Structure 1
Amino acid sequence: MHGQTMSGWLLVALCAATGAYCLLGVRSGRGQDREGAAGEALMGFGMAAMAVPASVLAPPVWGWMLYAAVFGGAAVRALWRARGSSVHTHHAHHLVGSLAMVYMALVMAPGGAGSGHAGHTAGYAAGGVPLLTGALLLYYAAYVLRSGVKLMPVAAGTAGAGGGTFAWGARPELALACRVSMGIGMIAMLLTV
């Protein structure tokens, strides 16, 4: 990410905090919840690493290729988990997120599609935004809006229902808030591509 230094550090903090919270979900979750939290932790920490301002740390080409390989592997895993799973659309979201990270790693790499003049006009919309970037921006905007609506309180009487122990890693509203913040972070990163 080659934006302003302050906004880059804010994005690093947001994504790292989200990744750390998702690790709590890995520790306290079970089954598919645990696997989903692990994927989201990987995404949060990967986004934090990619968002470090280039003025502070400019990864070498192999670093960007490492990002692409890690998230390529995560995309294959998400594709494997999503096959035949019509109920769990969250796997498809992880697939889109992982592929978006691969795309950004390849574009941000020195000599990548976004840094050279070779493919500068190929795949761009009339306004100058690459078609894939525009499609990903639309996807994440819709995802953030849809997920954000789910955070709206339903009724005052249902707050705190269920009682019992207070476990930070098992709070569905916090997990959803983390997904919204990572979606917003992804929009911010895509805007700089």
Structure 2
Amino acid sequence: MSTQINEKQSVKPFWQDLFAGGLSGVATVGLLQPMIYYKNMSQARSIESQSTTLAGKMWTFSPRALYRGAGGFAASFAPTIALQTVANSVFANWMNPLAAAALAGAASSIVVNPAELIMIQQQKTGKSFLQTMKILVKTAGPQVFFRGLVYTAGREVAFTGAYLGLTPYMKERFKQMGAAPGPAHMAAALVWLPP
């Protein structure tokens, strides 16, 4: 009977982690997509500074342009955050929380890397998700989706290690110092204290 309770308890956090991670991934894309658009267009403009049409496209306020590629990005980013959250919970059973979070980030780069490439190309060309994938495969082969994977993994190790490993640790440290849970969580997201 105690085995059944443990099985139910292990399934419940998995689904909670999966849902919470996926929902926060979609919300993040919704909030950040316009900034990502301007960053990508600014970078492209600096590389292709001779193109007046590209410079004119950068400062649009049209939701159609700002959110170009957001569907594909959300369709990959939501599972990425869900994967990070679930993997972190699994890895935390065998290693310290910071290492578990960092490893979860590295694992998620396999999903993040191709998704970001497709989104950036969609923003530049205005083509659909499938058209963009076909063009990338035709021009550079399927391996193009994994170009830069090591750098993406490094970024995700730092990002996921911070938000899933370091932030909860810092929150507990601030609570031990007498902070209420809400302020402790906010401070943990902004400040690092040595152990």
- TM (norm. structure 2) is 0.29
Of structures 1 and 2, the one scoring higher in RCO (CA 8 A, sep 6+) is 1
Structure label with greater radius of gyration = 2
- TM (norm. structure 1) is 0.30
